């Protein structure tokens, strides 16, 4: 009754063994989108993904539906799913939403973060400073800084939503940074200022600081791919 002698087929694609097939598909597709290997507008064929992962189409469909309701893909009835392509206005919209939400999150962070948390944030800041040469490192370090702060926000949904928005904008940020890396230069001072505002402990200051910080991004300079 055991898995049989050779569980090859189902094991082969097991890049993530314990995961369910649907979770595999979700992680795989989202990873491809975030990395930019599936650019906006790409038609995603369920069967292809299924074969690539060695699973059937069904879990892939569910993953696509979930990605769709999270805004990463768009399903057109009977015509398949395409990777959502964001224009300038839409990216701007995402940043505005993230600005107010992450501002809200900083209200509670300002009052709940402790000395150790502030220390972690400082460390993340240093990592960010050293990562200014490489796009991947930079994005990782940048996310880490924000995640350290969000770790002190006791609102799971709010944090989840913020991170979702950040992921949705990531491909465009990545593309832009690859072309002109000037955006990576001034960030350390920028982020240190935010950190100081949070350190003040004043919710209003912390909120306004983070909100302004996120809105300061020049979205116009983003979006090299004008869908």
Contact residues: DNA, CB under 7 A: 1, 3, 10, 20-22, 43-47, 50, 54-59, 61, 75, 77-81
List Cα–Cα distances, 208 to 99, 170, 190, 204, in angstroms: 9, 23, 14, 6
Alpha-helical (H) ranges within the chain are: 8-12, 21-35, 46-53, 57-69, 88-112, 115-130, 135-150, 156-179, 187-199, 203-215
Alpha-carbon dihedral sign for residues 109, 111, 113, 119: positive
Q: And the tokens for 147?
A: 């995640």
**Which residue, 45 or 221, has its beta carbon nearer to DNA?**
45
**Which is nearer to its own copies, 5 or 18 (by Cβ)?**
18
Strand order of the β-sheet with 80-83 is: 43-44, 80-83, 73-76
Per CB under 8 A, contacts with its own copies among 155-174 are: 155-158, 161
Instruction: Choose between 58 and 221: whose C-beta lies nearer to DNA.
Output: 58
Tell me the window of 39-47, 88-96, 176-184, 192-200 that interacts with its own copies (CB under 8 A): 88-96
> Quick one: tokens of 113?
């973060």
- CA–CA dist 44, 118 (Å, integer): 43
56 binds, among its own copies, DNA, none (CB under 5 to 8 A by kind): DNA
C-beta of 33 vs 210, nearer to DNA: 33
Shortest separation between residue 13's beta carbon and DNA, angstroms: 9
Among residues 6, 77, 189, 220, which is the contact residue for its own copies, using CB under 8 A?
A: 77
* Residue with smaller CB distance to its own copies, 51 or 68: 68
Closest distance to its own copies from the beta carbon of 182 (Å)? 28
Give DSSP secondary structure letters for 29-50. HHHHHHHTSS-TTPEEPHHHHH
Q: Closer to DNA at the Cβ: 57 or 127?
A: 57
Q: According to CB under 8 A, which one of 103, 110, 197, 214 is a site residue for its own copies?
A: 103
Nearest to 84 by CA among 104, 102, 98, 64: 64
Residues in contact with its own copies by the rule CB under 8 A: 20, 22, 58, 61-62, 65-66, 68-71, 77, 90, 93-94, 96-97, 100-101, 103-104, 155-158, 161
């Amino acid at each position: 009754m055991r898995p049989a002698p050779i569980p090859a087929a189902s094991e082969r694609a097991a890049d993530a063994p314990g995961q369910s097939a649907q979770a595999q598909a979700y992680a795989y597709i989202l990873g491809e989108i975030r990395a930019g290997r599936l650019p906006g507008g790409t038609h995603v064929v369920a069967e292809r993904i299924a074969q690539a992962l060695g699973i059937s189409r069904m879990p892939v469909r569910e993953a696509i539906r979930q990605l769709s309701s999270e805004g990463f893909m768009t399903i057109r009835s009977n015509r398949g799913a395409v990777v959502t392509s964001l224009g300038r206005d839409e990216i701007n919209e995402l940043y505005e939403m993230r600005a107010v939400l992450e501002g809200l999150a900083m209200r509670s962070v300002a009052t709940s973060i402790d000395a150790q948390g502030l220390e972690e944030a400082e460390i993340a800041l240093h990592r960010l400073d050293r990562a200014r040469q490489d796009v991947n490192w930079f994005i990782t370090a940048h996310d880490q800084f924000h995640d350290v702060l969000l770790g002190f926000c006791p609102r799971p949904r709010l944090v989840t939503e913020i991170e979702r928005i950040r992921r949705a904008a990531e491909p465009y940020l990545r593309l832009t940074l690859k072309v002109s890396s000037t955006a990576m230069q001034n960030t350390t001072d920028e982020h240190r200022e935010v950190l100081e505002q949070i350190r003040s402990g004043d919710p209003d200051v912390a909120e306004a600081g983070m909100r302004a910080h996120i809105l300061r991004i020049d979205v116009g300079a983003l979006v090299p791919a004008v869908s």
